Structure 1
Amino acid sequence: MTITTALKKNLHGHSPLRRACLAALVLASTCQIANAQAITIKVVDVGGAYNLLQGAIESYRDKHPEVTFNLAKALAPELPAMLRTAQLAGKPDADLVLGGGDILASGIEQSLWVPLLPAHAAKFPSAMDNYFKESRKMQELASSQGLAVVYALGGPLLEYNPDKVSQIPTTPSELLVWCRAHPGKFSYARPANSGPGRAFIMGLPYLLGDKDPKDPVDGWANTWAYLKDLDKCIDAYSSTTGALMKDLGAGGKHMTVTTTGWDIHPRAMGVVPKHFKVAAFKGMTWINDAQYMMVPKGLPPERMNVVLDLMAHLLTREQQAKAYDKGYFYPGPAIKNVPFSLAPPESQKVIKEFGRVEYTLWGLNQPHAQPLSAQAMVKAFKIWDEQVAKRP
């Protein structure tokens, strides 16, 4: 019997004053229970993963109507300072962060995230075994301070307007020649806030034969020299990939670097014309990508419990199938045994129309590598910001 039920039974057989007092207790108890159940979770989307996970999050909300979700968006270079300020004030301003290797790395460096494994392993049984080979490697980069929730084949690839580009570069040196011949018509977005930008600078060491592709400080001599040369024919760098794709679609740029998802989704959404094409560098190495779920430190227990429950929900096969989405993060699911046949009909239609058979062939025939570690990635971003893009 609940407290409220017991109080209601005691309303009978008492004086009016007694009944009034007991009624007040019933009302107060009911309000306290309602307030205890109602909870608001703030989700901050850094890398666009909410596009893929919205349906899955809404399905959780439908099962738990007492939970309300507020969505906010932020840029990876700016969010860590905001989170740190809120944490120092004892008022955490985000419950769940969705983002890529950029925000994951920055947060690890600044100790912003709650370690999830093994501390909360009971909530995520066999977590590592649920990932397939390549996504498991992406999860290993998280140092247990995030959980990979979506996976992408990655890049770097070149995307171009076939009406403007007749000689397709197949090597970095050919891209440099093309860029010099068409100043201002090629660019890429700032790597610290762009998946394609990151894939490009992390893929170059493999293409250029650098000493150590995993060491941007002492192992990227060829890459940094190349990027500085390329900078001379680039007029500006977009702060986001989305802004760059709009510029490409509008004709401001004729060529850029891309990834599988950033090729498929903008064409499916009409931002970039459907007939635009992609090309792969000869001898490329795929830099795979993932989006992670991260929990900022300092959450009260009741919000922490809901966030962990939501994360477990998002990693089920049923909800992972929704990550195929409209090709935004191709293919999408991070866990194994989620075939394309389980994707929603709309997702299947979009990917069949805007996907490319080349991706299957290139994915099988070219080697794969993971992005830099969190610490190395932060160093790479700093060098790029200070030595490549810094202008007088």
Structure 2
Amino acid sequence: MKKSSIALCRLAALAATVVLSSLAGSFQAFAEPVTINVIDVAGDLQISQPAFDKFKAEHPELVKNFVFTQATAPELAGKLKAQQDAGRVDIDFVLTGNDALAAGMGQGLWMQILPQYQSMFPNMEQLYLPGAYLMQKMARGQAFVVDWTPSGPLLEYAPDRVKNMPDTAEKLLSWCKANPGKFMYARPSNSGPGRTFVMGLPYLLKDKDPLDPVHGWDKTWAYLKQLDGCIEYYPGGTTATMKELAEGTRDIIASTGGWDINPRYLGIVPAEYKVGTLKGFHWVGDANYMAIPKGIAKEKLDVVLQLMAFILKPEQQAFMYDHGYMYPGPSIKGVTLDMAPADSQETIKTFGRPEYAGLIANNPTEPPLDAKQLVAMFDKWDRDIGAAKMQK
């Protein structure tokens, strides 16, 4: 063999040794279980935590521990941006509604999962329920829908105090003016029922473009301004509206299917309270998402991707029925109530409403505003409607 060939072989062998040593180091890093820091700004842990617990139990070689924290949706983007600018991201996994998801997309905070990791998440359109897939498309490959609901807008009320429930948008406004302070909805940027109520109005009022809050909502903004005249203040979250309804401070509040069922199950709202709809309403879907911030440590990324794929399996999706919080809950096809834990089945049987099946079947379901339009709506509402009465 020529000296030049021998030298090339030795170089190739040396290169292979370096590569194998590097890979061995990587595998060793991945082989060590990691702690995953999860932040929830959507209240989703009450639904999805059993899936996290199951993943940890089944994969001790991957996860040492989950550390869960909670925050409000409006504060998440600033928190993540500060960490990313400092080069020290200590949030590995985010559970969010489309509010904080949209804000993060606007600032470029999320890792682009698809198409890079498409092999782990194939056939998404075939996997998701149609309504959930509408929400999934809005994530643009930067997040996955965890659980889904047709949502609302619904109006929840105390039947002992509201004898003639308004059934049109015009009657609701008249009732509000006649009963100042007795109607309430929460700040849309941190409330599913709040933003669903606002996003549902363009369909009810036959506005020019329900998907363009800046140029297509003339009737909606005028209506909200009139409604503002008889609303005392806007809470920073939905729970406050539920408590005030139960206490008798408010008589009608904006609600959704999940926010109707779950607080009655928890005893926050009396079980006998009712829900109503306004004639001509369209469901405006809602979902919770799982996303990964840019800057996540490499040794955690593989684990987080496997966790996402795990949560989208039918066995874990059955947990999403929970106690009605995102009614019905599962986002993928083929997950039926009889697959859910027994206590979830009992909750839906006891606190669900038979009229929901007909309402879902007989009224159209629309997607919520896309990211850019949603942020624009939040900003305009905060500035033009809620500024003087908003509780953060």
The TM-score, its normalising length taken from structure 2, stands at: 0.90
User: Quick check: 2:50–2:319 contact (8 Å CA) kept in 1?
Assistant: yes
Percent identity of equivalent pairs: 48
Out of 313, 334, 338, the residue aligned to residue 331 of structure 2 is 334
CA distance in 2, matches of 1:120, 1:301: 14
Matched, 1:49 2:44: yes
Give 1:16's aligned residue. none
**2:232 partner letter:** D
**Contact 2:30–2:299 under 8 Å retained in 1:** no
Q: How far apart, in 1, do the equivalents of 2:129 and 2:189 lie? A: 27
What secondary structure sits across from 1:98 in the alignment?
strand
Q: Which residue of 2 aligns with 1:110?
A: 107
Tell me if structure 1 keeps the 8 A contact 2:129–2:331.
yes
Does the aligned pair in 1 maintain the 2:244–2:250 contact within 8 Å?
A: yes
Q: Which position in structure 2 is the counterpart of 1:175?
A: 172
Letter in 2 for 1:86: Q
Q: Which runs of 5+ in 2 are unaligned?
A: 1-26
Residue of 298, 301, 326 corresponding to 1:301: 298
Q: Is contact 2:131-2:150 (8 Å) kept?
A: no
Match of 1:77, SS state, is: helix
1:88-99 → structure 2 map (5 Å cutoff): 88-99=85-96
1:252 to 244, 249, 253: 249
User: Does structure 2 retain, via aligned residues, the 8 Å contact 1:121–1:127?
Assistant: no
- TM-fit CA distance, 1:151: 0.5
Q: How many residues align?
A: 361
Question: 1:199 maps to what in 2?
Answer: 196
Distance 2:31 2:365 in 1: 48
| Partner SS for 2:74 | coil
Counterpart in the other structure of 2:98: 101
Which residue of structure 2 lines up, in the alignment, with residue 157 of structure 1?
154
CA distance in 2, matches of 1:200, 1:125: 34
Q: State the alpha-carbon separation in 2 of the partners of residues 71 and 244 from structure 1.
A: 26
Residues 38, 94 of structure 2: 8 Å contact kept: yes
1:279 aligns with 2:304: no
Q: CA deviation at 1:34?
A: 9.5
Change (3 A) 1:383 1:63: same
The answer to whether residue 53 in structure 2 is matched with residue 58 in structure 1 is yes
Give the equivalent residue in structure 2 for 1:357: 354
Aligned partner of 1:241: which letter? T
TM-align CA RMSD: 1.4
Alignment deviations for residues 68-103 of structure 1 (CA, whole Å, 9 cap, x no partner)? 101111111111000000011111121111111101
- What residue is the counterpart of 2:132 in the other structure? 135
Once residues 315 and 82 of structure 1 are traced to their aligned partners in structure 2, the CA distance between those partners, rounded to angstroms, is 27
Q: Partner of 2:73: helix, strand, or coil?
A: coil
Match for residue 211 of structure 2 among 202, 211, 214: 214
8 Å contact kept, 2:90–2:296: no
TM superposition outliers: structure 1 runs of 4+ over 4 Å: 32-36
Q: Give the SS at the match of 2:262.
A: helix
The one-letter code matched in structure 2 to 1:332 is G
* Aligned partners of 1:53 and 1:323 also within 8 Å: yes
Q: Is the 8 A contact 1:216 1:379 kept in 2?
A: yes
Q: How does 1:17-56 map to 2 (within 5 A)?
A: 37-56=32-51
In structure 2, C-alpha distance between the alignment counterparts of 1:61 and 1:34, rounded to whole Å:
18
**How high is the TM-score relative to the length of structure 1?**
0.90
Q: Is 1:388 matched up with 2:390?
A: no
Contact 2:29/2:299 (<8 A) preserved: no
Alpha-carbon deviations, 1:214-262, whole Å to 9, x = none?
0000000000000010001000111001122112112221110100000
- 1:57-76 alignment runs, 5 A limit: 57-65=52-60, 66-76=63-73
Q: Which runs of 5+ in 1 are unaligned?
A: 1-31
Residues 83-128 of structure 1: CA deviation (Å, up to 9, x unaligned): 0000111111211111111011001000000111111112212233
Q: C-alpha distance in 2, partners of 1:197/1:81? A: 22
CA distance in 2, matches of 1:67, 1:363: 42
Task: Check 1:42–1:283 CA distance in 2 against 1; reply closer, same or farther (3 A cut).
Answer: same
Distance 1:34 1:125, change over 3 A: closer
For residues 384 and 286 of structure 1, what CA distance do their matches in structure 2 show? 21
Task: Give the residue type in structure 1 aligned to 2:291.
Answer: M
TM superposition shift of 1:149: 0.9
The DSSP-based 3-state class of the residue aligned with 1:209 is coil
Q: For the residues of structure 2 that align with 1:167 and 1:79, how far apart are their CA atoms? A: 41
| 1:188 corresponds to 2:209 | no
Q: Which amino acid aligns with 1:82?
A: K
Once the two structures are TM-superposed, the CA of residue 205 in structure 1 deviates from its matched residue by 0.2
